[in-house]
Every structure is written in structure tokens, then in C-alpha cells.
Amino acid sequence: MRLVLLLLALCAWAAAVPALIARQQELSPVTDEQAARYISSAVVSGAVSCGSRAVTAFDCGPACDKLSDAGAEILYSDGDGERDPWIYLMHVHSENALVVAHSPTNFSSFLSVLIDANFFLTAIDAVLLDDMGVNSSAGISVHSGFLRSVNKTYEELKKRLIAAMDRLGDKISVVRFEGHSMGAASAAIEAVALSSIVKDRGYDLRLTTFGSPRVGNEQFAGLLEKTIPLDKRARVTNQNDKVPHLPGWPYKHYAGEVYIPKQDENDIPKPAAHCIGREDDRCTDKFNIFQRSKEAHVGPYFDQTLSRSVCTNADAYPPE
């Protein structure tokens, strides 16, 4: 019995060590240069939150206006906003960027909500594993609903992305994967799977997500961290948003959280900060289950609200 208690104590100590080390490191504030990058990504995620062909027509409201002003050109889009979330491949001319962006959950659609509800861990299939450079023995599993969404358009996206990179050449310097909520999860899976074809062509790769749920198991988190350097990824969380706490065990977040805290009592914004480790209890992880909020999920993320509620004409362009 004493041996069992000793082993349990050792396990608890080993689990606490990473958190203790993280606590010894100060949170680093987001610089103006980093904030500018995150704002650009938030504008994209805000537009695709409208999730319809209104985005391809740049007729979805302020976010689409900002995209148009940045010289964005939609190269490919697919989805219906219900069973299949929207995906967009765009060339943002003023930023020399090729952007893959995914729409979030459409809460007005039962079929879209069902994707979130299908939260069983599922082993990644052979095609994605091969592109990720690992095999089934790696034990990589992700959210079943998110994986299905990725698989629906993956091969077509891959083909279009390769063609766009080959055609644009030195007109782009970076390929960005972005999204909010469910779209953030899809972006993370695709960024890992497509990283080799991006890097082999000499381009920078960045992953920037907003309000992301946990995407997969510890093995997936580890692979993402190995594939995408810490300074090339940002998992932005807002205040006490409840979504980053979902799903629970055995899901694990990847490191790279950028935390936007609540304003102070005088409504003065506090600076966003880079958190330490996978889940830092000085960031969104500090809120218990009774303190978490669904309202914080839509932002603001660097002054951008990511919600269909701020879109115009989102329903005026039905799927073709």
C-alpha cells in the first residue's frame, strides 16, 4: 500500500513540474508588430465567420470591406455553412500572403452544430498521416467531426494550394492557416498536413487561430509543436471564453496561447500576452467552470468581433 501511495505521489509531482517551471517564466507582452499580424488574421476570420458566398463577393460588411481594401482575391471556396463549413483560399496582395481560412460553427444550423457534437477522438487516416510525415504507430487522433470536415475538401484544397503557390511564385512570402472556433481546429489540422509542401517551396508558414477548442490528443499536440515553430503559431484566446476548455480529457491543447485579458474597472484594455506551455493558469485556464462565458467566444479579438451577427447579406447568397 505504501508503495502505491509513493508511486501516486511521484506521478503527481511529475505532472506538476512543467506547471512549476512555467510559473517561473514571465508572460511576454504582445508587441506592436505581432499585434498587427494578429489583427490581419482576425480580419480574415471575421469575414469568413459570415460563411457564405457573400464573402467571395466582398459583400459581407465591415470585415469584407477591410479584406477588399487589403487587395484580397478569392482563389477557391467551398462549403454550404451547414453540413460542410466554408473554406476559402485567398491571395492577400498587400500582405504578400496566401491564406487558407475556415468558417466557424453556424449556430443557426443544426447540421453545423452536429459537427461540434461529434467529439469522439478518431485516428487520422492514411492520406493525412502520409502528408504529416508520420504513420499510424504515432497514435495521432483528433476530433471526429473536425476531421470529417477537413477530409471533405482536403484533396481539392491541396491541389489548389499547390497550383496557387506555383503560379504566384515570389508574389507571396507566407502561407497562413486561420480560423475561429471550429474553423480554428480545421486550420490546425491542415497546417500540420500541408506544412511540408509549403516549406519545400521556400515559403513561411503561420498558424493563427481564435477561440480554438482542443483539437486532438497529446500526440497531435506534440506533432503540431514539432512541425510549426512556436514563433509561427498563435492560438488566441479571449478572456473567460469557455470554448478553449472543450472537449475535456484526453484532448490536449498545443502550446502557443496568446491571451487577451479582460479590461480593468475603468474599461481600459490590458495588453495581450504570450502564455507559457500548453495551458497556463495565468491565462484563460485560470477560469473555473462557473466563471467561463460563451459571450467572450466572439471577441473582441484585437477589436475584431468574429460572429455572423455583425455580417450583412450573409443569407443573401445561397450556395450554388
Per-residue pLDDT of the chain (320 residues; tens, 9 = 90+): 555 444 444 444 445 545 544 455 889 999 999 999 999 999 999 999 887 778 988 998 888 999 999 999 999 999 888 889 999 999 999 999 999 999 998 878 888 888 888 889 999 999 999 999 999 889 999 999 999 999 999 999 999 999 999 999 999 999 999 999 999 999 999 999 999 999 999 999 999 999 999 999 999 999 999 999 999 999 999 999 999 999 999 999 999 999 999 876 555 567 899 999 999 999 998 888 888 888 999 999 998 999 888 888 766 555 55
Reduce the DSSP state of residue 139 to 3 states and report it. Answer: coil
Distance CA 198, CA 204 (A): 7
Instruction: State residue 4's pLDDT score.
Output: 44
Instruction: HSE, CB side, 13 Å, CA atoms: give it for residue 72.
Output: 27
Task: Output the nine-digit C-alpha cell for 5.
Answer: 501511495
- Between β-strands 233-238 and 257-260, what pairing exists: parallel, antiparallel or unpaired? parallel
Distance CA 128, CA 47 (A): 28
Helix (H) or strand (E) holding 175: strand 174-180
User: CA Rg, the chain, in Å?
Assistant: 19
Q: Which residue has the cell 500548453?
A: 278
Q: Which residue has the cell 486532438?
A: 216
Reduce the secondary structure of 57-109 to three states and give it as a string. CCCCCHHHHHHHHCCEEEEEEECCCCCCCCEEEEEEHHHCEEEEEECCCCCCC
Query: What end-to-end distance do the CA atoms of the chain give, in Å?
Result: 67
Task: Output the nine-digit C-alpha cell for 66.
Answer: 477591410
Instruction: State residue 20's pLDDT score.
Output: 47
Q: Confirm if 128 and 152 have CB atoms less than 8 A apart.
A: no
Instruction: State residue 316's pLDDT score.
Output: 55
Distance CA 246, CA 7 (A): 30
Q: Confirm if 258 and 274 have CB atoms less than 8 A apart.
A: yes
Instruction: State residue 308's pLDDT score.
Output: 84
Distance CA 85, CA 104 (A): 7
Instruction: State residue 249's pLDDT score.
Output: 94
Cis peptide before 244 (omega within 30 of 0): no
Instruction: State residue 6's pLDDT score.
Output: 46
Which residues are 252's β-sheet partners? 216
Q: How far is CA 37 from CA 4, 44, 209, 232, in A?
A: 50, 11, 12, 11
- Residue 199's region, left for phi above 0, alpha for psi from -120 to 50, else beta, is alpha
Distance CA 228, CA 39 (A): 20
CATH of domain 27-310: 3.40.50.1820
